[in-house]
Amino acid sequence: MALTPTLLLGGLERSLNALLARDPAAPARLERLAGQRLLVRLESPSLALALVYHAQGVDLMRQDDEPENAFDAVVELDPETLGELLGGASVERLMFQGRLAVRGHIPLLEATRDLLLDLDLDWEGELAHWLGDVPAHSLAEGIRSLGRWGLRTRQELCADVSEYVFEEARLLPGRHQFEGVRDHLTELEVATDRLEARLERLRRRLTTEGDGA
Amino acid sequence: MTPSDKRTTHFGYQEVPVDEKASRVADVFHSVAARYDVMNDLMSFGIHRVWKRLTIERAGVRPGHSVLDIAGGTGDLTLKFSRLVGPRGRVVLADINESMLRVGRDKLLDRGVGGNVEYVQANAETLPFPDNTFDCITIAFGLRNVTDKDAALRSMARVLKPGGRLLVLEFSKPDNALLSQAYDQYSFRLLPRMGELVAGDAESYRYLAESIRMHPDQETLKGMMEDAGLERVEYTNLTGGIVALHRGIKL
């Protein structure tokens, strides 16, 4: 059905713009972005999505037959890379790894990510509107402390697991060890190459001397 | 009596003299203009927004383009086009009906749209623009109210720039017999009643249902667009063919 993606995109656009309208930092960012166009090509499912910024938000549109030069920046990525990008991985790292192809005005991609990920909604104010100031504040405090606890627990768990794996059980090499080994291997590779070249030179000399004699 | 007085055309299921159709259609829209948006939402269960969205996606409008929105009525398409073309572009909202144009202009001004939008009261058959003016022309739910559709399509092809696109969003023929039945029941029984309740005008909505039935089907309209000089004409059926989006390019 031709309409389903359009309908989904319409819904996404509406919710996104509603969220952006609640973010106090968004108007200034949108002001800077207004009029810029970003094309995101997803490999699988094959999808070309245009993000067109305007002062109140962003228009999302499917673009199948538009030339690339109509956009300020074009991004090509696969779903995995998209996940990492939204997870906060740096754009440069993904580009150097060759998993993200960006053409055109690269800062536009970073600005887009900042806009979408740094959404700082004043949801406490919105709650206060419905519940009153005091209940909203205590509810918000509760949620915040729960969030802090979750974050701390996750960091501690990560730290514990990595310490066990790298230091106690020694199941995996640590980053320093890994880099040390890699440097040694590179050195070895260079040395082998030199040796090979030297042998080759000797062999050549032997053949020319053999011919001469 | 001149020959043109004798010629008739259809107004819904009635035959009326050619000269009268425009004023009769105008009466219909004068009467519904104020509640046009509400009625559209009610009648199509809000799906008309998705149909229009798809039209905008297919239009491929870019910053700097000139867009003509014919029969733009209350400005749904113009609102989005004015953002897409940016300050360097321009959008012309044209409608033959003064009431609809006024409602559209007020709505757009209320939404903060200005600067790159112009309003023109014009007949689609004789568009008052020079040749090769627009990058994109849209006519959403307007073509079936035009008296001479071929002349209108020729006129649109004339003002379109080479490489420009014409998009026609219009009611069409459902491709499924069962859906067609349900749709007939809906549009001839429920629709005039809804029109009476909400807009206080059953006649106008009866005309709407009838005019949809008299409108050429997908293939016929495609042929008409090709005859008007457009190429690569293709159409997409939406919601089972109740509506079809035709697109042609002037080469």
Residue B57 has its nearest CB partner, among A37, A61, A70, at A61
CATH number at residue A92: 3.30.1050.10
Return residues 113-142 of A near B (CB < 8 Å): none
**Candidates B50, B62, B83; nearest CB to A6:** B50
Say if B101 falls within a structural domain: yes
Residue A178 belongs to some domain of the structure: yes
Q: Is B63 on the interface with A (CB under 8 A)?
A: yes
User: Is the ipTM here above 0.95?
Assistant: no
Report the alpha-carbon distance of residue B53 to residue B238 in Å, rounded. 12
Distance of CA B3 to the CA centre of its chain: 29
The answer to whether residue A188 is domain-embedded is: yes
- B192 within some domain: no
Question: Considering only alpha carbons, which residue of chain A is nearest residue B86?
Answer: A35
Q: Structural domain of residue A75, as residue ranges?
A: 3-117
Query: A14 touching B, CB under 8 A?
Result: no
Q: Return the ∠ at Cα A82 (arms to A5 and A145), rounded to 5°.
A: 100
Q: Please, where are the H alpha helices in chain B?
A: 3-6, 18-32, 36-44, 47-59, 76-85, 98-110, 149-159, 177-185, 191-198, 202-214, 218-227
Same structural domain, A71 and A157: no
CB–CB of B60 and A65 under 8 A?
yes
What pTM was estimated for this model as a whole?
0.72
Domain contains B180 = no
* Pick from B211, B22, B201, B11: nearest CA to B121: B22
CA distances in angstroms from A170 to A16, A19, A201, listed in the order given: 46, 46, 44
Mutate to test the interface with A, among B44, B45, B48, B50 (most CBs of A within 10 A): B50
**β-pairing verdict for B14-17 and B8-11:** antiparallel
B80 touching A, CB under 8 A?
A: yes
Find which of A30, A49, A52 to mutate to test the B interface (most B CBs within 10 Å of its CB).
A52
Q: Closest Cα to residue A53, out of A120, A126, A114, A122?
A: A114
Digit-by-digit pLDDT tens for chain B (251 residues) are 444 445 777 777 777 777 777 777 777 777 767 677 777 777 778 888 888 888 888 888 888 899 999 988 778 889 889 988 888 899 999 988 888 888 888 888 998 888 889 999 988 889 999 999 999 999 988 888 888 889 999 999 999 999 999 999 988 888 888 888 888 888 888 877 877 887 677 777 777 788 888 888 888 999 999 999 899 999 988 888 888 999 999 98
Provide the domain count of chain A: 2
Domain span holding position B134: 33-170+218-249
Domain end (from A87, A117, A147): A117
Q: Touching check for B249 and chain A: CB below 8 Å?
A: no
Q: Which residues of chain A are under the pLDDT cut of 50?
A: none
Q: Total domain count for chain B? A: 1
Do A107 and A41 have their domain in common?
yes
Both A9 and A35 in one domain: the answer is yes
Tell me: do A108 and A158 sit in the same domain: no
* Closest Cβ opposite residue A6 in set B53, B83, B87: B53
Residue A69 at interface with chain B, using a CB cutoff of 8 Å: no
Q: At what angle do helices B18-32 and B36-44 cross, to 10 degrees?
A: 90
Closest chain B C-alpha to A58 CA, distance in angstroms: 10
